[in-house]
Structure 1
Amino acid sequence: MNNSVLETLNFYMTDLVQVSSENLKQIARNCCNLTSLKISHCEILVLVGFFSAAAALEEFCGGSFTNEQSDRYNAMTFPPRLCRLGLTYMASRELPIVFPFASLLKKLDLINVLFGTHDHCLLIQQCPNLEVLETRNVIGDRGLEALARSCKRLKRLRIERGTDELRMGNEDGVVSHTGLTALAQGYLPLDNGVRALLRGCEKLRRFALYLGHGCLTDVGLGYIGRYSPNFKWMFLGYVRGSDTGLLEFSKGCPSLQKLEMMGCCFSEHALAHAALQLPSLRYLWVQGYKASLQSSRDLLAMARPFWNIELISARRVVTTNQVGEAVELEHPAQILAYYSLAGPRTDFPDTVIPLDLLL
């Protein structure tokens, strides 16, 4: 009560269920920096005074809606900075109280609300700035489709199975591959971000991009090529684009001399033609690609004077981990190509095979 520097107060899911609204109001008045409150099941109407006093509050979780006169909730107002919200036992009839500030929400926890699929759609459409959503399977495919259309800034999605799932029957409140596909197609998580970065950082000369699986599309690869006129060196890891994206990328990067790629799964045909289209390329290293069934003949498309091409076949290596156990590691196939006026090197190990020896 006398703490004036409190910023976070959390007794959610504890035995502290007898909450004094007057005490909370006093805390809000004393602690002008209180930004987060998470409480147990407390009738939301008794918190009106607290919300009025907590001007700096950004996060609220908990509360409950037990009053049978639902119209009383219409007069509820929340703190002006509130952007992270997790309400409990809210039903469809109370949903409109969130609409006035829904556009400000960045995080929304709907795990413990009593919403159906339609309610999810109504609320999600009002939250264009949403970054984190936690909910149950009842969101359904329609809810995920609404999420893909309306929440382009989404960074994290958590969907739990609810205890009411077995009672849904044939309702549309079940998540399937249809909804997940719509969600995935609605996001190009890094394409536009990479474009903005490259357009805003014109003095960059070296660029490394190491991603999670599927975080960049062919569109993003095309952006990298188009907006990288001065790059000398580039590393691309797990960008997961297709051959089309690689060839689009290679139409740009006029100054690129050294290109390294890992886990990108491009074909030998696309790699060879991309190397030919990059006019300043002097060095190419690729680990993890789609090897052809014709002794890598597709790589011959990039053959030229003083351009050496070496292959390292995929192999499995047994090593010892930190607890002394033997583990098997897979080393993906690799391609190394480089210019040398001195001709092919002769000091390579047995694992390295010059391409011309395979033909």
Structure 2
Amino acid sequence: VELLRRCSKLQKLWVMDLIEDKGLEAVASYCKELRELRVFPSEPDLDATNIPLTEQGLVFVSKGCRKLESVLYFCVQFTNAALFTIARKRPNLKCFRLCVIEPFAPDYKTNEPLDKGFKAIAEGCRDLRRLSVSGLLSDKAFKYIGKHAKKVRMLSIAFAGDSDLMLHHLLSGCESLKKLEIRDCPFGDTALLEHAAKLETMRSLWMSSCFVSFGACKLLSQKMPRLNVEVIDEHPPESRPESSPVERIYIYRT
């Protein structure tokens, strides 16, 4: 805190979560020129019983640092109310990456999905270019993102969604999308093949631990010859059935 008092012109801050909420409250008070904040986890296996910081730390910074444009924030749990506040206070955000460490973690105060909170981010932050979402999210969250996040160019998703509708909403709605990263999400062949033409307008699509089959990857490469479709796993192609899911896929333009 004493150091931060002397950093009134600070524009970029990368810290560990050991800064805690009190430290970020000090950032909000003294660092009025801050444009970028990144908070990383100090331990890979944090749990809710030993939380060095909460969503309140980011709320403090959102309220106090009016020039804030870029956020990367690792934490154990989050709330819709905090996302509402961030969207309302910082509509100028261009990059918002929230990494809730616990997979499928809901709003810990209401036990609801974080759908409405990310809807507020997508609606309120109209200049958003990069977005990372996590926590408990249904297909509705991606419907909101596809509808409102028209300028997002890079999108990362983990442990979210209910079905193929998730990918459908994103590929049909996010007009500026160039790079999409998805892992551990329950979509399969249908959405991928239906939006094959959209993939040609993008830079790349990376997927891991989803429900896309080897046969769908082959069909996509035949259907869209200008796309490179790389299947990355330990099984040789000649020994696997076409219905089996692949471990990782990297799709990009030739």
TM-score normalised by length of structure 2: 0.48
Q: With a CA cutoff of 8 Å and minimum separation of 6, indicate the structure with the bigger relative contact order.
A: 2
